[in-house]
Structures are given as C-alpha cells and as structure tokens.
Structure 1
Amino acid sequence: MNDQKETLPLLAMATLGVVFGDIGTSPLYTLSACLSAMSLPPTAANLQGILSLIFWTLVLVVSVKYAWVIMRANNQGEGGVMALTALAAHATGHSGRLRWWILSIGLLGAALFYGDSIITPAISVLSAMEGMEVASPAWKPLVLPLALGVIIGLFLVQRRGTAAISHLFGPSMLVWFLLLFGSGLTWIIADPQILLALNPWYALHFFGIHGIGGLVILGAVVLAVTGAEALYADMGHFGARPIRMAWYFLVLPALALNYLGQGALLEINPSAAQNPFFRLFPAWATLPMVVISGIATVIASQAVISGAYSATRQALLLGYVPRLTIIHTSASERGQIYLPGLNGVLMVAVIAAILWFGSSNALSFAYGTAVTGTMLLTTVLVFFVARHSWQWPLWKAGLFCGFFILLDGIFFGANLLKLVAGGWFPLMIGLVVFTTMSTWRWGREILARKLYPDAISVEAFLSGVTPIEPIRVPGTAVYLTVREHGVPHAMLHNLKHNRVLHERVIILTVKFEDEPRTLPTARLAVLDYGQGVYRFTARYGFMEQPDIPETLKSAESPNFRWNPSDTTYFASRQRVIPTADAGLALWREQLFAILLRFSTNATDFFRLPPNQVMELGDVVELAHRVSDAPKRG
C-alpha cells in the first residue's frame, strides 16, 4: 500500500503526457474560435459569458461525467468506447435485439473516434505553428509547410516506437501546464474582475443577450473538452486514481486559469482577439512559446495516434476489423505497438485536412461533431451499465444519463450547425469507418455459414478411421478453425489430397472474449476425442496478443507431450466471389472481398513459425438462401 502511495504522484505525472495532451493544448485555439464563431467583439459581457460556458463545461463534462462517474465503468480496469460496449453488452445479457443495438451504438462511437484522431493532430500542430504570425506577420507563409513537416515527421517516426522518449512526455507536459497556470494567473492579477466568469449566471446571461442564436457558440465551447474521452480510454494504462489526481489538482486549475487569463488580456487589450494565447506572453517569449507549444502538440498528437492504434487492435480482436500487421515496438511495454497500414492512412488523412482547411480557425468548424457524437453515445452505453451492472434504480440512472444525454445532445446539435462549414469532415470519416467495420463483421458471419453449413462431426469422422487407413504420419498437425464444432475444411482438404493423417491432430479455435484479459487457468480448454485427436479452444481478451505456440506449450502434461519442431500448422485462406444473393448489398460484398484480400495471414497474426505453416485456399461464393440472414443495405 505504501509503494502505491509513493508511485501515485509519478503515475499522475505520467498521465500528463498520455491522457491530457489533447485537452491540455485546447487553450491554443478555443477562445479565439468562440469569438469567431459568432463574430463577437471581445466585450466584458461576451467574454464573461463565454468563459463561464467554458469553465462549467469543463466541470460538468470532465469533472463530473468522466472523472467522477464514467471512469467507474471499467472492464477489468480497462476503459474506452470498445471496452464500455463489451461491458454494456455483457451486463445486459444475451438478448439478441438489445445486444445488437448496444454493439451498433458502440461501433458507431468507435468509428467517430477516428474523425477525432485525424483532426486533433491537424488543429493542434497548426495552432502551435500559427504563433509565428504573432512574432512576425512575415512568417505566415511558413506556417503550413512547417505544420506539414512536423506531421510527416511524427508519423514517420512511429515505426521506431516511442518507448525511448515516452518517459519525457510527462515532465514536458508538466512544464506546459505550469506555463498555462502562470501565464493565466499573471493576467488575472492585472484584471481580477474576470473571475466573475466563474459564476454560472454569466453563462445563462449570455443566452439572454444573444437569444437562441447563442447556441451556435456551444459548437466552439466544446473545443475546450476535446480529449475528455482520453481520461476514460487510457484508464487501463494508469488506473483511475492517478488520472483523477492529475485532473483535479493540476490540469483543471491550469486550464481554468489560462482561459480566464486570456479573457483578462482581451478585456485590457481587445486587439489581441485573433490569437490571445500567444499574446499572454511577452514579445521576447513568443518564439520560445511556439517551440514549447509545438512540443506539447506533438505529444498530444502522439497520444491520439497511440489511442487509434489501441482502439484498432481492440476492434480487430473483437471481430470488427480484418487482421492487420501489428508490430510491437517495445519488449518491455505492452501498449507500444505500431500498425503500418493504419499509420499510412492516418498520415494521408491528416495532411489532407491541413491542406483542405488551411488554418486552425477553419479546422475548428470541423472539430466537435465527432467528439460530441462519441460523448453522446458513451452516455447511452453508460445507462445500460448503470442499470444492469451497478444496479442503479431507473430514476437514478435516468436522471444522471438523461441530463448528460440532453447536454451532449445540445452540444452535438450546435456542432451540426457547422456541418457545411466543415462538420461534415469527421462525420464522413466516421461513416466510412462504421460501414467498413459493420461490413467486415456481417461478412464474416455470412462466410462462416457458407463454409460450414453441415460440418462433419469429429466423432463421425473418427468412426471411419482405422489402423490401416488413412496412413498416420509422425508429428503434430494443428488445424486453425473459427468453428468450435466439426472437422475443419483444411483437415478434409489435406486428407483428400495427401491421403494421410498425422499421429497427433489438434483442432484449434481461437476465441476473443468481451473482457480485456482472461485468467491463465481459463486460457485453454482441451477435449480429447481419442485416436490422437484433440480439440483445443484458446481464449484471449481484447487487450491480449495471441501467441499460439506459447499457448500449446502451456498445455503440456503427463498425458500430452508436444514437440514444437515436428508441428505443422494448417490454416485456410478464403477468396470471396461477390454475388447478388449473399444477404448484403452487392457493393458491400465487394468491399468485404477487398478487406478479406488485404487481411494479414494467420502466420503473422498468431505468431506461428513461418517455415511450419501450410495455407490451403478456398474460393467461396457468398450466395445463400435469403432466409439465412437479413438483407443489409
């Protein structure tokens, strides 16, 4: 217990670089975006109203909703929308229709997360580089090239991993938050009247002045809480206590004082409205702050990219994404992974966003729809967890979730007003990702039904095996199959063409559970059919990397001896021919066929020794009876 207390401050500092990078760099652009959203002059009434909205949004959304309540919804210590979806689906039981809705909500929330993953690096790095314009307007032409250079360098370095420098992220962001705190406090002392904005009455008074049209401002106010989802998503890395400690005792005070300091500056000097953050500092400190803010935004972008890697791996293991190449960049840190394919797609998308929008102010119109959409869906999922897992009474779950569904809905609606100006961008990304994930999930289900309509039972198969036929050859054959019953296709193919059966046969099914990790005692279930034939079912959590040879090694016992060197692994690889009768629209069948073609082979994914693997191919038409599955367009 004492060791835990001693490491708590260190863990809290480590969270600064991973959890709070995104929300910590929001002061670079939020207040100026709020003023430009309605072309408001920086009068005292406007500033106090906007700052009051920002402060109470931070308190309600981050302090109350995420830090206080949602972080209780941990799936064996793990957080994030995919972990929450699995927890909600498990808590509500196996009701088909309700489970389908929960999974769809979670899948859409995960899809919207990728829109945030693209815009965050773009707007953060651009806003940092725009500080050069404050130092000298002549440097404006350098902003875009430098921002693109930073982004390209950031994505290219991903293949080397960040383990060597990640221990510097926390101290670097500690310096950043102290600068936010100090610079804001300096201007508050110069104009203490700005502290009136802490009164929520000024937020309400703002809408009294501007009427219903004032809701437009909420589309920019929400920029102050972008990154709030990271508190929950990164809970598995640090635990809830260090994250809460860092938020309540450092991050929230630093953010609040910096926003108030910017407001005090604008009350004293309204001409600083274009870029109030960098004008908090003396002229001689502008360029050093550009460098420091550049470092902070790179760290924030790194955290978002790492989060995208982690979310994709979870989606992959839960069956929503094709097998992708996953490279572990650190031998000691489990979370340090690199996905080359995803990295390339993200880099191209971020570059496209920077070139298309051209400035952080223009990007602010695109920012928010994905974030608020994810927040809204997260609240809906928490309702099911509160009712069925926490056993909250209906009135309590309804009151809490209803309030935040209303709040999130207002923020989401305000951001939809920016749809034409740029809000379409993250929604389009989310729609593409959702379509891809759902197509892969449904396509796999149809493919499994097509491949195994009437699988031969192992017992029936063994009844035809005699001491003479087929010929038994030395060694072990491991047949990978998605089905927990019947004889695998690859095994029948091998017997048909080679007319032999290994002296020891293992039919292996790998299942990924809706929990982060499985207990070692529950990892492997073994069924002995006799005659040297076994069925192994290996179970992994969605945060674990499957390693088949290591799992087989753990199965050794006096009754089962396994020699890795004389083992041959058999895997099937399918090629799909789209038809008009598969239960999916033809264009989705074609998309599924493309995804299947680019799916990583089983050798790499399951860490099989390449020189001991045989892949047997199947050409499959997806067509089946219409009654087998509902038509999905």
Structure 2
Amino acid sequence: MGDSSPATPAADSSHDSGSHPQAPGALALAALGVVYGDIGTSPLYTLSTVFDPGNGLELDAFNIVSIVSLIFWSLMVVVTLKYVVLILRANNHGEGGIMALLALAASSVSDRPRLRRTLLIVGVMGAALFFGDSVITPAISVLSAVEGLEVAAPELKTFVIPVTLAALIALFIAQKRGTGGIGAVFGPVMVLWFVVIAVVGLVNIAAAPIVLVSLNPLRGLAFVMHHRWLAFVALGAVVLSLTGAEALYADMGHFGKRPIRLTWFGLVFPALALNYLGQGALLLTNPGAVQNPFYRLFPQWAIFPMIVLATLATVIASQAVISGTYSMAMQAMHLAFLPRMNIVHTSEREIGQIYVPGINWILLASVIAAVVGFGSSTALGSAYGIAVTGTMLITTFLTFFVVRYAWHYNWVLCVLATFFFLVIDALFFSANLLKIVQGGWFPLVIGTLMFTVMATWGRGSQLMMAEARVRAGKKPLKPYLAALLARSPVRVGGTA
C-alpha cells in the first residue's frame, strides 16, 4: 500500500450524520436485540474461564472479590468510557467500526503521506482481526449456551454440537431479513435476558453482600500487586467480559449512537454488573459452583428454561458481530480494500441496515469449521481473546489521530486520554499472546489471510487508478471531443 492510497471520503466525525428517523424507543429496542447480545452473554463463560484449574488461580475469597472488581472496572473503563463515551463520537457519515475510524484518521493526516500509509496498514490489520472475531464469536457464544445441556443432563452431551450447528445455520439464513427486522424480534428476548440475569444476580448478592467490596477499584489493584504473574495470566480471561465492545462500535451505522448509549446505561451495564457480582457472591458461599457459576445461580427447576433463553441470547450475540462485519466489509469496499460484492439495503428508512450475501456465507462456512474443529467453548476461549484485544488496541491507536488531527484537541489532552486506554489494551493483548499455542493461532491465521487479501486488493486498486490517470492524461483532447460529439451518449430528460 503506497502513498497513492485509495481516497478516504469526507467525514463528519462529531455527530450522527446518518438518518435515523424512527422513534428513539423503537431504535433502542432494535439496537438491544442486535448490538448487545455479544457482551450481554459474556457472563456465561467469563468467571468459569478465569478460575479454570489450568490458569493456576486459587479459588479463595480474596481472588474472587478481586476478579469481580477487575471485571466491573474493565467494563467501566473500556466499554463505558472508551467506547460508549469517546469512540462513538467518531463516525464516518454515520458509520462506525474500525474501517470508519481508519477513514477518519487517514483523511485527517492527508498532508502526511508516510503517516497516512502507516495508519492504513495498521487499520487494515485491525479490520482483518475483526474478521477473526466475527468467526469465533458465534461459535463460542452458542456453544457456551448449549453446553448447559451437560449441566442439566450429562447424557445429552452428544447433542451439543448438532444443536449448536442447527441454531447457527438458522441464524445465518435469517440474515436476509435485515438487522431491523431481526432486531425487532430479538429486542424483547434481550430485554427478558438482561432483566433475568440482573434479578438472579441481585438475589445472590443478598446472600453474600460482602461481594460489594468489589466495587472498590483498589481491590483489583491489590490483586495485581499481590499475584503479579498470575494476575497477568488472569487478565487473558477477564477480557472475555469485554467481548462485543468493538461490535458495539461497528453496529453504530445500523442504529445511531443515541439508542446504543441509552440501552447501555439504562439496562445493559447495570444488568451485567449485578450478574457478575451475583456470580462472585455465589462462589463465596459455594466454591463448588465454579465449573459453571452462571447456571448455578438458578434453582434446579429453572435450568432448562435458562438453557433455552441463553441459547436464544447467544444466537442474538452472534448477530452483533455479523451485522458489524457487513458494515465493515461495505466500508472496505468503498475504500477499495475489498472487491465489490452485492450489498442489499434491507430498510427503506435506515441507510446503515445492510445485508452482504457473499460475506454471510463465507462467515457461516468458517463458523461451522470452528465449531466442529474446536468442539467446546473452553477450547475456543483460548482463541477468542487475541482477535478481540488486537482490534481494541488498534482502535485506540487510530483514535489518537482522530482526536488530535480531526477534532483538533490539545496535544497533551490527546496523549493522556488515549495513552491511558492504550496501556490497558496492551496489557490485555499481551496477556492473550500466551494462548497462541492453545488456539490463539486460529484468529491470527484468519487475520493474516484477510490482511493479505485486503492489502493486495488495495495495492491493485492504486495501480489501476494510477494507470487510468496516466492514460487520461495522454489522450489528446480534440480527437476525444470529436468522437464524443459523433456518437453522443444517451441523455435522459430531467432536472439534474
């Protein structure tokens, strides 16, 4: 990718420039059904992964309270402050996601060719990793819910993979209805999901209110200072609570930033906080529940209904990254980093609601391969973090250039704000690098393939544009005009 990179479109990065004429309540409900399924179902597997025996972290009161504290403050800092408050302000004609952020960053330094080329390379790397996330998220989300069958009845274990594949195939087939139609169906389900996990979390907190000490950020800091290396390893699992944050930004073009912010502060964040606190309280009173603390929150009679609800919720969780991938692919096509594909606009009112059949079927094939190849959510958990944290790290890096050169904020303020997030993202990313052998290689392979395709197509587009400019400059003007007048193009009457 040389200096003559594909031109980035002009952008309005400070407010929603897309059209979202629907009532805020209707858009918020639809956004809830599409945007928050991924991060909303992370409680299914986060704490059980953190305290997996292979990580070497002892299950005692100090560690339980500290881990819940790290999860709570990770949600507060990374999702709330970084994504919901800061990065949602950066939109490219109403679109979000790392490709939109790349367009803003590259256009803001258009007078610095070398820096612009570097940003394009880094941005394409982030987009390539997001494709890896888009494959792993549906696989691990649905698998983690369907594996609840083993909790209720161990003899049903053989049905886990077939049920998971059936649910995923049905989801990808339904994509042609568009995110608006899907969100209208999924929204009420997610409302029920968040209300239920909040209530059951509150009930368990009442049984062990000491867990509320986790709200003190110093508990997480004390844990890091005490354990050091074990704490670093644990961060690789704590980051699972943040999965879906990047999809939240990528889906902004489908609904706008206001409905996304409204649902986060009004329902999603409180429900997640209560559930994680509830799981911590349960482990304090019943350490034996560590193998599946989420389902152990519920009485025995409620496990099967929760398996059904969790499966629905995790199918919806997959929707967040699927729709985000559509948006990112469309932006990559506009920036000449991907070949043109058929894009179906599924809404007469929302310009950002799209369906890309080619991407849809490629994703489905890749997700099926991941489910069959890894076979369990535990195995996929090792592969999950690298794609997520890598994309988050690159997003923060690009944000600095948007805040500094597009929004023209003070240099010191830009460094302080983004460096704080950059350090946190770098810690999460480096902790997940420890899992490359256990499965982290999988998203890296997908990312490498996508980066190769996007970089090659981008470079080819530059060469074709340069050749076209050369040919246009060499062609004599008089013979061209004579040929044009002799065989005039068809003109259609109108006002343009």
Deviations 1:400-425 (A, max 9, x none): 11111111111100010111111111
Q: Give the number of equivalent residue pairs.
A: 475
Root-mean-square deviation (CA, aligned residues, Å) is 2.3
* Pairing partner for 2:44 from 28, 46, 49: 28
The 1:454–1:340 alpha-carbon spacing in structure 2 relative to 1, beyond 3 Å, is closer
* 2:423 aligned partner, one-letter code: L
* Corresponding residue number in structure 2 for 1:390: 407
Q: Which moved more, 1:62-71 or 1:39-48?
A: 39-48
* Corresponding residue number in structure 2 for 1:457: 475
* Pairing partner for 1:177 from 166, 189, 194: 194
* 2:447 aligned partner, one-letter code: G
Query: For 1:443, what is the secondary structure of its paired residue?
Result: helix
Mapped to 1, the partners of 2:229 and 2:56 lie a distance apart of 16
Query: For 2:110, what is the secondary structure of its paired residue?
Result: coil
* Corresponding residue number in structure 2 for 1:505: 489
TM-fit CA distance, 1:6: 11
TM-fit CA distance, 1:129: 0.1
The 1:471–1:66 alpha-carbon spacing in structure 2 relative to 1, beyond 3 Å, is closer
The 1:153–1:13 alpha-carbon spacing in structure 2 relative to 1, beyond 3 Å, is closer
* Corresponding residue number in structure 2 for 1:307: 324
Same amino acid, percent of matched pairs: 53
* Corresponding residue number in structure 2 for 1:583: none
TM-fit CA distance, 1:178: 0.3
* 1:359 aligned partner, one-letter code: S
Mapped to 1, the partners of 2:385 and 2:104 lie a distance apart of 26
TM-fit CA distance, 1:396: 0.9
TM-fit CA distance, 1:314: 1.2
Mapped to 2, the partners of 1:63 and 1:301 lie a distance apart of 21
* Corresponding residue number in structure 2 for 1:123: 140
* Pairing partner for 2:153 from 136, 152, 165: 136
* Corresponding residue number in structure 2 for 1:483: none
For 1:8-27, what aligned pairs fall within 5 Å after superposition? 8-27=24-43
TM-fit CA distance, 1:89: 1.4
* Pairing partner for 2:429 from 412, 415, 422: 412
Deviations 1:69-123 (A, max 9, x none): 1122223333211111111112223321111111112111111110110011000
The 1:277–1:421 alpha-carbon spacing in structure 2 relative to 1, beyond 3 Å, is same
Deviations 1:459-509 (A, max 9, x none): 23246x3xxxx798xxxxxxxxxxxxxxxxxxxxxxxxxxxx52x238xxx
Is 1:61–2:78 an aligned residue pair? yes
Scaled by the length of structure 2, what TM-score is found?
Answer: 0.90
Mapped to 1, the partners of 2:94 and 2:217 lie a distance apart of 35
* Corresponding residue number in structure 1 for 2:130: 113
Q: Do the aligned residues in 2 keep the contact of 1:78 with 1:236 (CA within 8 Å)? A: yes
Mapped to 1, the partners of 2:104 and 2:484 lie a distance apart of 48
* Corresponding residue number in structure 1 for 2:397: 380
TM-fit CA distance, 1:165: 4.2
* 1:261 aligned partner, one-letter code: G
* Pairing partner for 1:438 from 455, 464, 473: 455
The 1:459–1:207 alpha-carbon spacing in structure 2 relative to 1, beyond 3 Å, is same
Mapped to 1, the partners of 2:348 and 2:263 lie a distance apart of 28
Mapped to 2, the partners of 1:158 and 1:385 lie a distance apart of 33
Q: Do the aligned residues in 1 keep the contact of 2:138 with 2:317 (CA within 8 Å)? A: yes
Q: Which has the higher contact order (CA 8 A, sep 6+)?
A: 2
* Corresponding residue number in structure 2 for 1:349: 366
TM-fit CA distance, 1:325: 2.4
The 1:251–1:442 alpha-carbon spacing in structure 2 relative to 1, beyond 3 Å, is same
* Corresponding residue number in structure 2 for 1:246: 263
Q: Do the aligned residues in 2 keep the contact of 1:78 with 1:235 (CA within 8 Å)? A: yes
Greater fraction strand = 1
* 2:411 aligned partner, one-letter code: L
Mapped to 2, the partners of 1:459 and 1:471 lie a distance apart of 11
* Corresponding residue number in structure 1 for 2:227: 210
Q: Do the aligned residues in 1 keep the contact of 2:133 with 2:388 (CA within 8 Å)? A: yes
Scaled by the length of structure 1, what TM-score is found?
Answer: 0.71
Q: Which moved more, 1:37-46 or 1:14-23?
A: 37-46
Deviations 1:226-271 (A, max 9, x none): 1112332222333323222211221111001101111111111111
Q: Do the aligned residues in 1 keep the contact of 2:99 with 2:123 (CA within 8 Å)? A: yes
Q: Which moved more, 1:48-57 or 1:228-237?
A: 228-237
Mapped to 1, the partners of 2:303 and 2:263 lie a distance apart of 27
Mapped to 2, the partners of 1:11 and 1:471 lie a distance apart of 50
* Pairing partner for 2:240 from 223, 232, 237: 223
Deviations 1:335-360 (A, max 9, x none): 44333322222111111111221111
* Corresponding residue number in structure 1 for 2:167: 150
TM-fit CA distance, 1:12: 2.7
The 1:276–1:459 alpha-carbon spacing in structure 2 relative to 1, beyond 3 Å, is same
Mapped to 1, the partners of 2:87 and 2:468 lie a distance apart of 41
* 1:26 aligned partner, one-letter code: S
* 1:556 aligned partner, one-letter code: G
Q: Do the aligned residues in 2 keep the contact of 1:134 with 1:279 (CA within 8 Å)? A: no
* 2:305 aligned partner, one-letter code: P
Mapped to 1, the partners of 2:442 and 2:28 lie a distance apart of 34
The 1:354–1:556 alpha-carbon spacing in structure 2 relative to 1, beyond 3 Å, is same
Q: Do the aligned residues in 2 keep the contact of 1:115 with 1:427 (CA within 8 Å)? A: yes
Structure 1, unpaired ranges of 5+: 473-500, 507-551, 561-633
TM-fit CA distance, 1:141: 1.4
